[in-house]
Amino acid sequence: MWWRCWARSILLPPNLTADFRDIQKKPDMSQSSLATPRLIPEALRQKIEGYIPRYPSKKAVTLPALHMVHSHFRCVPYQAMKEIAEILEISPAEVADTMSFYGFFPQAPLGDVRVWICRSISCMLRGGDELLEHACRHLKIEPGQTSADGKLTVEFAECLGVCDHAPAALADDGRVYGPLDEAGVEKMLEELRKGPVPPEEL
Amino acid sequence: MATIIIDGQNYELPEGAKFNAIQAARHFGIEIPYYCWHPALSVVANCRMCEIEVGTRDSATGEIKMLPRVVPGCQTPARDGTVLVTNSKKVLDHRKNIMELLLINHPLDCPVCDQAGECGLQDYSYSHGRAEHRFVEERNVKPRKDMSELVVLNTDRCIMCTRCVRFTREITGTAELQVMRRGDHGEIAIFPDQPLDNPLAGNVVDLCPVGALLDKDFLHNQRVWFLSKHEGICTGCASGCNISSEENAGRVWRHKPRHNPYVNDYWICDEGRYSYKAANDPNLLGGLYILDGKDHHEVPSERFFHRLTEDLTYRILDKQSILGVLSPYLSLEEAYSAAALVKQLTNRSSLALGPVPVVGADQTFAPDKSAGRSGDTSFLTPRPFTISAEKAPNRRGVELVIEHFEKQVTGLDDALARPDSPEIVMVFGGSTDAAWLTGDQVAAIRRAQRVVLFDTTINALADQADYVAGVATFAEKAGSYVNRNDRLQRFDAALAPREGVLPLLDVLAVLRGTGRAPIESRSVLAEAASKIVALAAAKGGEIPEFGLNLKGKDVPVPDAGFQDDWTLANLASV
Amino acid sequence: MAAFEPVLTRNWNNPDILSVKTYESKGGYAAARKALTTMSPDDVVNLVKASELRGRGGAGFPTGLKWSFLPKDRQETFMCINGDESEPATFNNRYLVEKDPHQFIEGILIGCFATRARTAYVYLRFEYIKAVHILEKAIEEARAAGHLGKNIYGSGFDLEIWCHRGAGAYICGEETGLIESLEGKRGWPRIKPPFPAIEGAFRKPTVVNNIETLACVPHIVERGADWFKSIGTPKSYGPKLYTISGQVNKQVCVELPLGVTTNQLIEEHGGGVWKGRKAKAAVPGGISMGILKKEEFDVPLDFEEIRKTGCLGLGTAAVTVMDETTRIIDYLYNTSRFFAHESCGQCTPCREGTGWLYKTIKRIRNGGGRIEDLDLMKHLSENMGITPGTTICGLADGAAWPIKNALAKYRDELEEFIRTNQNPAARISPVQDAISRGASPLAMNTSMFVPGIGLAKAQGTK
C-alpha cells in the first residue's frame, strides 16, 4: 500500500544542516597567533618592513624576509613563517611554499658554521664526492647533519660557482676553500670550528 | 567569420568566442585530453597532456605552416586560421609518453581508491596510454595527509597538476594549499595547524583529476559506478547552485557541482555539498494523520482526503476564511498549485509567504584576473560565487505566485497579526529544518480553528495540526525554483518518494480535482506560465539548460557549457 | 686579426677598483655619462642592436632585439639582472661582480636608461656571499657619487638598484623562474607568451639580462658597434669570459674573443691536462650543453659553430675538461643527479623524467645495467625539453643533452661498461624485469620469483 505508518518518535530530529555549520566554523587563526608570544623581535620586524618599499608587491619581500629570519635564528621555524606571512599580508602556506622550494632554509637550527662541499661536475672530476664523504666521516655525521658539538653542519651542494677552486667548499660566512684534498678538508674543518668571521675579513 | 582547421576539417568559430584549443576542439566534438587546465583557473601548462600540433594558415595564400614541436592546447588560442592536429602519430606518441611518466610514481591501488571509475589516470590510460611498463626503478613513496576534517590527500596518487592550489589562491583567495619542495619530491600540503577549511574547500576534491584529494564524507561509501546522477538545484540557499545529486539504493551519497556560468560557474559551497544528508534522515515525516482528540491517528488516503474536503467544505459554506502559508522551500509548481487551491476554495482566502531564514550575511568570492594568479589569464572570464545569507531556494518564486494572486506579498507574521484572523490555516512547508517555524508562529497558527499541514519534518506544528500530510522532500521532487537573481531553474528528483509519501503536487492535484497522480511538474509550470505574466517566458513549461532569466535577457557567454571532465566524470552516461 | 685587447677584465688586477673614485679615475662612468647626456634611449637600443651583442647567459638571444620588444606605450619597466649563475662549472659572473662591480653597475645604468627602467633588481645566487657584500657597498658608493638615484647627471633619469638574493635553486636562472622568485613565489618558470617584455615582473614589461651582457654595454657605448663587431666570429661578436675547470692544471676565467677552440683554452690558458694525462672529452659551456669529444676540440666555441657538434650551444662558455681516465658513466651520473635535484617539478616530462634517468643511470653505474636501458634513456631524453616541445623551459633540454650526446658519441663505451660491470646486488628483480618486457603478471611462472632462474628465463624471451 502507498500509505504507511510513520510509527516513529515525535522527538525533533537533529538538524543536520545546522550541525554541519558548526563543524565548518573556522578556528580563528588571527586570534590564536596573537595569543602566542611573538618570535620575530621588533628590530628584525622593522628590518623586514624596511624592504617593502623596494618592491611593488609585499609578497616579493618573502625571500629577503626568509633570509633575514634565517640569519637571525639560523633556521626558519613555522612560527616565524606565520609572522612573515602576517607582515607581508599573505597566507602562511604561501611563505612555506616559497621557502620549501629552495634548498637554503632549514627548519631545525644549524651548527655555528654551515659548510657546503661541492659535488658538481668540476669538483666531482677532482674528487668532490669523496671529500664530502671524508668530511662527514671525520665529523661522524651524514651529509646535512650537524656535528655533535653543534659547531659544524656539512652539506653537499650543486655547484657553488667557485670552480676555479675545485674541488671546493664554501662556508656560510663567505669563506671559500679549495682546491681541497683530504688533509685540506680536515684543516678547513678545524678552522671553521672556531666560528664564523665577519664579512670585512673575507 | 573565423575559421579554425582541426584535423583537416574547417570549422566556424562562434562569434565572440575566446577559446583555447581544448575548448574549440570540444566545441566541435573533438577530444583533447587534459589534466592541469581548468576553464576557470589560470593556464600553467604543466601536465603536458593536452599537447597537439599547431600551425597557422596564411589567409592570403592558404599556405599552412606548422610549428616543429608539440604545443599545449591549453595555451593555444583558437583564432582565424589556427590549424590544430590532434590525431597524428606524433601527438598520440606524446600522450603515451606523458601517461607513462605520470604513472611511474603512481601506486597501483585502484581497487581501494575512491576515484576509481571517475579517474583521469584510469580513463586516459585506457584511451591514450601504453600497455607496457618500462619503469623498473624504486618508486617514490609519499605519505597520506589530512587537509581538513573533510578532505584527505593521498600524496602518492597526486600528479602535481596544482589545480587545487590554484583554486585556493585564485577563486577563494584563502591560499591554504601550497606545493612543498620541488622536483619529483614535490607534494601538495597545508601549513601545519591551518587546515583547508574555507567555505568552498570541497571543490578541490572535484577538481582533483585523480584519487589524491578525496572527500572523507564519501570515502569508501560507494563505488562511483553504482551511483545514478540527477540534475538538481541546491536548496541550501537562494543562490540556486546547479548540482548533480548522486544516488544509489534509495540514498543520496553526494552532491557535486554542475557548471552554470550564470549562477555558480563550476563550484558549490560545502554547506550545499553536504546538505544531501537531510534527504537520508530516517526521521522524516511520512504518512497522513488526523488529530483525533489529543492524538494523531494515521489514516488511509481515501479517509484523509474525504475527511479533509468534508471539513473544509462545511467551514467554507459557513463563510470561514482561509490563510494559505507558502514556504520558500516549495517549488514554483507547488507554490502555484497550492495558491490556486486556496484561492479556488473560497473568495475569503489569503496567501502568506512563510518565514525566510537568513543566517549572517552574503559571502561573495569575486576572483579577478590579476590577484593571486599563477599562470596565463588571457582565456579567463572570472565569475563571482555567492553563498547567500538567505537559506531557502525559492523565495522569489513563491513571491511571484503570491503577487499574481494578490496585490502584494504578505509575510506570515503580518498575516497572523491581522485583526480578522483566519479560521482555517493551510501550511505548505517543505523545509528540512524542523525549526522553520518559531514557537510563537506555531502558537499563532494554532489559534485557528482548523490547521492543515503539508510538510517533510516532524516539527512542532505537526504535533498540533488537525491534518498532517508527509510530502516528498527536496530530493524526492521535481520542479523549478527561482533564485535570488530571478533565474528560473529546473531540477529533477534524485530519489523516489519514501514509502507512504506522496509528492505535494499529487496531493494538490487531488484536492484541486485537476488530475490524477503522478502529476508532471512541467505541465503545472506550463499552466502557471500561461496565467502568470512574469513567467510567460517559460511557455509550455520549457526551461533552457542554464535556466531562464525572468528579469531580462542573458548576456551570451561564448564559453558556456564546458563541463570539466574531472568534476563530473561520466555524467554523459546517465 | 688585430691583437685582442681585453676590456671586461682590464681592471681585475687592480684591487682598488672596488672604490668608485678609482673606477672613475680609470675612465669609469664616462660611457654612462655619454649615454645619458648625449643619447636618447632609442639611440642606445639601436647602438646595441647594431653591435649584434648576444646575451651571455646561455641562450645567445640578441640583446638589442630583446630591448626593442618592450611595448612603446609602457608606463613602467623593470630591469632584472640575472646573477643566478648556477650552471655547473660557471663562475665568470662572480668574477665580474667581485673584481669590478662598478663596470657592472655602469652597464646596468646604461641598460636601464635604454629600456627606461627606473628600478633594477640584481638577482644574485646566495652562494655569492662575498660578491653581495662587494656589490651592495659599490651600489652605496655609486649612489653617493651621483651615478644612481634621482636625476642622474642632470638627465632627468632616475634609477634604483636593489640586490635580491636567491636561495639555492638552479631554475631561478631561467628568466621567468627568476621573475617568479623575485615576486616571492617558488621559482616555477612561466609559460610564454606572454613574454617578460610584455608582462614580466609584477605584471609589468620587464627585461632580464645577464651580468656579463650588461658589462659589455659600457664598452659598446664607449667604443662603438664597429669595434665590437671587429672581435669574434660571424654572428658571434665581442669579447667573452671563458672559464676553464676540471681536470686541467690551471682553473681560470679568461677574456677572449668569441670563437676560441677548446684546444686553445686547455693548452694556452688551462696549462694543459692535469697529471700529464691526455684529454678525453670536455663540457663546452656548462653541463646542459652536452659533451665534446677530443676530436671536436678544434671547433670554435661560439654561438653557431658549436652546434654542429651536436651540442646544445655555447651556454655559459664554461669549459670543463675530462682526462682519459674519466668514465662517461660517472659524467652521466653526475649530470643526471644534478638535474634530478634541480628540476623544479612543474612539467611532467622533466619532473618524472629527470628522476627516472637518474635512477636508471645510478643503477647502471652500480652494476645493475641492461643494454636496453640505453635505448630507454635515449627515448626519454629525446622526448623531454623545449626542443620536442614537452616542457615550459629549457632545464629538461639541459638534462637530456648530456645523455643524448653521450649515447651518440660514447655508446660503445657505455655498452662495454654494462657488459663488464655487473653486480647481482644492484640488478632489478626478475619480476620487474619481466613486466618491463611486456610479460603479463597472470602468465608469469612462479620460477620468475626465484632469482637466477627467472632472470635467465626473462632474458630468453627477448
**What is the per-residue pLDDT across B500-528, written as a single tens digit (0 to 9) for each?**
898 999 999 989 888 777 889 999 999 99
Q: How confident is the model at residue A17 (pLDDT cuts 50, 70, 90)?
A: very low
C377-388 residue pLDDT tens: 999 999 999 999
Instruction: Give the model's pLDDT for residue A166.
Output: 86
Residues B213 and B119: beta-carbon distance below 8 Å: no
Tell me, yes or no, if B89 comes closer than 8 A to chain C by beta carbon: no
DSSP string across C192-244: SSSPTTTS-GGGS-EEEEEHHHHHHHHHHHHH-HHHHHTSEETTEESEEEEEE
Residue for grid cell 646573477 = C83
Contacts C287 to A, Cβ<8 Å: 120-121
Nearest CA in chain C to B377: C194
Cβ within 8 Å, pair A63-C166: yes
Distance of CA A145 to the CA centre of its chain: 14
Task: Check whether A28 has a pLDDT greater than 70.
Answer: no
Nearest CA in chain A to B197: A26
Task: Check whether C258 has a pLDDT greater than 50.
Answer: yes
Nearest to B136 among C193, C428, C438 (CB): C428
B451 three-class SS: strand
Q: What is the mean pLDDT of residues C113-134?
A: 95
Contacts B301 to A, Cβ<8 Å: 2-3
Burial (CB < 10 A; 0-12, 13-18, 19+), residue B65, is exposed
- Beta partners for residue B325, in sequence order: B352, B427
CA distance C286 to chain B (A): 21
Residues A66 and A82: beta-carbon distance below 8 Å: no
Cβ within 8 Å, pair C341-A158: yes
CA distance A187 to chain C (A): 22
Instruction: Give the model's pLDDT for residue B372.
Output: 63
Task: Check whether B150 has a pLDDT greater than 60.
Answer: yes
Q: How far apart are CA C244 and CA B55, in angstroms?
A: 43
Sequence-distant (≥ 6) Cβ neighbours of residue C250 within 8 angstroms: C244, C269, C270, C271
Q: Which three cell numbers stand for residue B399?
A: 513571491
Cβ within 8 Å, pair B97-C354: no
Q: How confident is the model at residue A35 (pLDDT cuts 50, 70, 90)?
A: low
DSSP state of B448: S
B521 three-class SS: helix
Instruction: Give the model's pLDDT for residue C317.
Output: 92
Instruction: Give the model's pLDDT for residue C432.
Output: 79
Q: How far apart are CA A196 and CA A198, in angstroms?
A: 7
DSSP state of A50: H
Neighbours of C329 (CB within 10 A): 20
Which is it for strands C239-246 and C318-323: parallel, antiparallel or unpaired? parallel
Tell me, yes or no, if B210 comes closer than 8 A to chain C by beta carbon: no
Q: How far apart are CA C247 and CA C266, in angstroms?
A: 10
Q: How far apart are CA A43 and CA A48, in angstroms?
A: 9
Instruction: Give the model's pLDDT for residue C439.
Output: 65
Instruction: Give the model's pLDDT for residue A193.
Output: 93
Q: How far apart are CA B422 and CA B452, in angstroms?
A: 13
Nearest to B194 among A8, A21, A29 (CB): A29
Q: Which of residues 115-174 of A touch C (CB under 8 A)?
A: 116, 119-122, 124-126, 157-166, 170, 172-174
B472-509 residue pLDDT tens: 999 999 999 999 999 999 999 999 999 889 899 999 99
Residues B170 and B373: beta-carbon distance below 8 Å: yes
Q: How confident is the model at residue B369 (pLDDT cuts 50, 70, 90)?
A: confident
Show the beta-strand stretches assigned E in C68-136.
78-83, 119-124
Q: How confident is the model at residue B373 (pLDDT cuts 50, 70, 90)?
A: low
Task: Check whether A70 has a pLDDT greater than 80.
Answer: yes
Rg (CA), chain B: 27
Q: Which of residues 257-286 of C touch A (CB under 8 A)?
A: 283
Q: How far apart are CA A122 and CA A137, in angstroms?
A: 22
Average pLDDT of chain C, as a whole number: 91
Look at residues C440, C6, C21 and name the one whose alpha carbon lies nearest to residue C254: C6
Contacts A56 to B, Cβ<8 Å: none
Task: Check whether A6 has a pLDDT greater than 90.
Answer: no
Q: How far apart are CA A71 and CA B205, in angstroms?
A: 39
The sign of the CA dihedral A55, A60, A61, A63 is negative
Look at residues C169, B183, B169, B175 and name the one whose alpha carbon lies nearest to residue A99: C169
Instruction: Give the model's pLDDT for residue C440.
Output: 59
Q: Which of residues 259-278 of B touch A (CB under 8 A)?
A: 270-271, 274-275, 277-278
CA distance B104 to chain C (A): 8
Q: How far apart are CA C364 and CA C252, in angstroms?
A: 34
Contacts B98 to C, Cβ<8 Å: 348-349, 390
Which residue type does B561 have?
G
Q: How far apart are CA C403 and CA C340, in angstroms?
A: 13
Q: How confident is the model at residue C441 (pLDDT cuts 50, 70, 90)?
A: low
Cβ within 8 Å, pair B281-A16: yes
Cβ within 8 Å, pair A121-C330: no
Which is it for strands B424-428 and B322-326: parallel, antiparallel or unpaired? parallel
DSSP state of C250: -
Q: Which of residues 115-144 of C touch A (CB under 8 A)?
A: 125-130, 133
Contacts B183 to A, Cβ<8 Å: none
* Alpha-helical regions (H) of B488-564: 504-512, 521-531
CA distance A2 to chain C (A): 53
C137-149 residue pLDDT tens: 999 999 999 999 9
Residues B143 and C147: beta-carbon distance below 8 Å: no
Residues C162 and C120: beta-carbon distance below 8 Å: yes
Q: Which three cell numbers stand for residue C200?
A: 614580466
Nearest to B45 among C392, C432, C437 (CB): C392
Sequence-distant (≥ 6) Cβ neighbours of residue B381 within 8 angstroms: B18, B261, B557, B559
Q: Which residues of A172-197 are buried (b: 16+ CB within 10 A; e: fewer)?
A: bbbbbbbebeeeebeebbeebeeeee
A107 three-class SS: coil
Query: To the nearest whole percent, how much of chain C has pLDDT over 90?
Result: 88
Tell me, yes or no, if C59 comes closer than 8 A to chain A by beta carbon: no
Instruction: Give the model's pLDDT for residue C191.
Output: 92
Which is it for strands B450-455 and B424-428: parallel, antiparallel or unpaired? parallel
Instruction: Give the model's pLDDT for residue C16.
Output: 93
Q: How confident is the model at residue A26 (pLDDT cuts 50, 70, 90)?
A: very low
Cβ within 8 Å, pair C348-B101: yes
CA distance A104 to chain C (A): 5
Instruction: Give the model's pLDDT for residue A106.
Output: 80
Q: What is the mean pLDDT of residues C150-158?
A: 95
Cβ within 8 Å, pair B186-C345: yes
C208-242 residue pLDDT tens: 999 999 999 999 999 999 999 999 999 999 999 99
Cβ within 8 Å, pair B191-A10: no
A116-132 residue pLDDT tens: 999 999 999 999 999 99
**For chain C, give me the number of helices (H) and strands (E)?**
17, 12
Torsion of CA B232, B236, B240, B246, to 10 degrees: -20
Residues B2 and B77: beta-carbon distance below 8 Å: no
Which is it for strands B213-215 and B228-233: parallel, antiparallel or unpaired? unpaired
Chains A, B: CB contacts under 8 A, how many? 118
Query: To the nearest whole percent, how much of chain B has pLDDT over 90?
Result: 78
Q: How far apart are CA C455 and CA B548, in angstroms?
A: 68
Q: Is-cis flag, bond preceding A64, omega within 30?
A: no
Cβ within 8 Å, pair A3-B301: yes
Q: Bigger pLDDT: C451 or B412? A: B412
Q: What is the mean pLDDT of residues B147-169?
A: 94
Nearest to C435 among B105, B133, B159 (CB): B133
Contacts C352 to B, Cβ<8 Å: 101-102, 104-105, 184
Nearest to B281 among A6, A13, A78 (CB): A13
Residues A17 and B359: beta-carbon distance below 8 Å: no
Tell me, yes or no, if A53 comes closer than 8 A to chain C by beta carbon: no
Which residue type does C360 have?
T
Q: How confident is the model at residue C84 (pLDDT cuts 50, 70, 90)?
A: very high
* Alpha-helical regions (H) of B104-220: 120-128, 163-166, 203-207
B362 three-class SS: coil
B268-312 residue pLDDT tens: 999 999 999 999 998 899 899 999 888 999 999 899 999 999 999
Contacts A10 to B, Cβ<8 Å: 458, 463
Q: How confident is the model at residue C442 (pLDDT cuts 50, 70, 90)?
A: low
DSSP state of B537: G
Q: Which of residues 148-177 of B touch A (CB under 8 A)?
A: 149, 169, 174-177
Cβ within 8 Å, pair C125-A164: no
Q: Best of A21, A30, A91 to disrupt the B interface by mutation (most B CBs within 10 Å)?
A: A91
CA neighbours within 13 Å on the CB side: how many for B520? 7
Cβ within 8 Å, pair A104-C126: yes
Residue for grid cell 571532465 = B565
Q: Is-cis flag, bond preceding A167, omega within 30?
A: yes
Q: Is-cis flag, bond preceding B419, omega within 30?
A: no
Neighbours of C208 (CB within 10 A): 25
Cβ within 8 Å, pair B182-C344: yes
Q: How confident is the model at residue B569 (pLDDT cuts 50, 70, 90)?
A: low
Residues B56 and B64: beta-carbon distance below 8 Å: yes
Q: Best of C84, C95, C204, C245 to disrupt the A interface by mutation (most A CBs within 10 Å)?
A: C245
Cβ within 8 Å, pair B97-C349: yes
| Element containing residue B365 per DSSP (H, E) | strand B363-365
Q: How confident is the model at residue A159 (pLDDT cuts 50, 70, 90)?
A: very high
Task: Check whether B342 has a pLDDT greater than 80.
Answer: yes
Nearest to A13 among B197, B270, B434 (CB): B434
Q: Bigger pLDDT: A199 or B173? A: B173
B43 three-class SS: strand
C294 three-class SS: helix
Task: Check whether B556 has a pLDDT greater than 90.
Answer: no
Q: Which residues of B409-443 are buried (b: 16+ CB within 10 A; e: fewer)?
A: bbebeebbeeeeebbbbbbbbbbbbbebbeeebbe
Cβ within 8 Å, pair C183-A176: no
Residue for grid cell 494523531 = B296
Look at residues C108, C106, C143, C103 and name the one whose alpha carbon lies nearest to residue C122: C108
Task: Check whether B571 has a pLDDT greater than 80.
Answer: no
- State pTM to two decimals: 0.91
B431-458 residue pLDDT tens: 989 899 999 999 999 999 999 999 999 9
Q: Which three cell numbers stand for residue C35?
A: 649615454
